[in-house]
Amino acid sequence: MNTPIPTVAVVVFNDFSPFHVSVPSIVFGKDTLGETLFNLELVAGEEGLITSSAGMQVHPSADLSALQSADIVILPYWRSLTEQPPAPALAAIQSAADRGAWVVGLCLGGYVLAYAGLLKGKHVATHWELEHDFNQRFPAAQLDTNALYVEDGNIITSAGTAAGIDCCLYLFRKYYGSSLANKVARRMVVPPYRDGGQAQFIEHPIPTSTSDARLNQLMERIRSDITHRYTLDELAERVMMTRRTFTRKFYKATGMSFGEWLAAERLNLAQDILETTDLSIEQIVEQTGFSSVMAFREKFKTRCGVSPNQWRKSFRR
C-alpha cells in the first residue's frame, strides 16, 4: 500500500520575509529533487494582499482550513514582536497542534507559536538577539539561545535566518532519511549538519571604556600587553586603590570581574587571529596570554560553543 505524501502548510502573513518563506518552499518543494515528496501549500494567514516590505507578492493556494489536515504546519516569520497575530490564525495553529501535526516556528515564527500558547513549558529556540525580549514576553517557555533548532513533542522552533534551513532539513530527514536529506542539502549547497549552535555567532560586547579615567587608561595598557600575568594587587596599585576598592569599582564600571573581562579580551583577540591568520593553536595561546592550550580550548568552547578549529573553518570557508 502506498504511503500518503505528507502535506506541508506554510502560513504566510502580510509583510512577510521572502527569505524565510523561500526556505521551506525549497526544502519541501518538488523542484529541488525533481519529484513530489511533499504536498506544499502556501496558506494565507490573514485576509487581503500578502506582500513583503520590498514589494514582492505571493498568491497563497489555500486558506486556514488547510491546517485541519496538514501534516506539517510551518510559521516561517512574523512581522512584529509586539503585534498579536490574527485570532483565526492562532486558533487554526492551536487546533493543528492539538491533533498532533508538526508545528514549526522558524525564527520570528516562534513568536506566533508563543502567542498561540503552544510554547508554555516547552524547550524552544529563537534568534540570539531576541533572548531578552522573548524571555520577558513568554517567561513560561524554556529558551535555549545556543540551539539552532529544538524539538519538544510535536513543536519545533529554530533560531534566526539560516538556522531555518537546518530545521527544515531535520524535519525532511524524519520522513525520508539522511540520504535524501543530504541530497537536498547538496543541491542547496549547504551542509547537511552544522557543528555547534548559535553561540559561535553571538556577539559578546566587552566594555571598552568606563566613566573612570584611571580604569580606562589601565584597560588600554592591558590590551597593549595582553599576555602579561596580572594580579589584583598590582592593578590596584597602578590606579592607586586598595585591592577591595579596585575590585568593586571595576565590576561596577564594567559589569564583569577583572578575570572575566581579561578572559573575554583574550578570547576576542583569539577569534580575530583564527579568522585572519594560519597561526597554530599553540602560537595563538602564546599571543593571547592563556596559561595553556587546554585552558584556551576549554574557555573557547564554553564561550563560543565550538572548538577553535571549528571556529576557523566556519569563518574562513
The secondary structure of residue 237, as a DSSP letter, is: H
Q: Residues 6 or more apart from 108 whose CB is under 8 A from it?
A: 17, 20, 77, 78, 79, 81, 126, 127, 130
Q: Which domains does the chain have, with CATH numbers?
A: 7-199 (3.40.50.880), 213-315 (1.10.10.60)
Beta bridge partners of 124: 143
**Cβ-contact 269, 303 below 8 angstroms:** no
Q: For cell 585552558, what's the residue?
A: 295
Binning pLDDT at 50, 70 and 90, where does residue 1 land? very low
Q: Is residue 11 classed as helix, strand or coil in its secondary structure?
A: strand
Q: What is the pLDDT of residues 14-34, one digit of tens each?
A: 999 999 999 999 999 999 999
Q: Label residue 218 exposed, middle or buried (CB < 10 Å: 0-12, 13-18, 19+).
A: buried
Tens of pLDDT, residue by residue over 87-118, are 999 999 999 999 999 999 999 999 999 999 99
Partners of 123 in beta bridges: 142
pLDDT single digits (tens) 195-245: 556 665 666 666 677 778 889 899 999 999 999 999 999 999 999 999 999
Residue 69: the pLDDT is: 97
Q: Other C-beta atoms within 10 Å of 111: how many?
A: 28
What count of other Cβ atoms lies within 10 Å of the Cβ of residue 86? 15
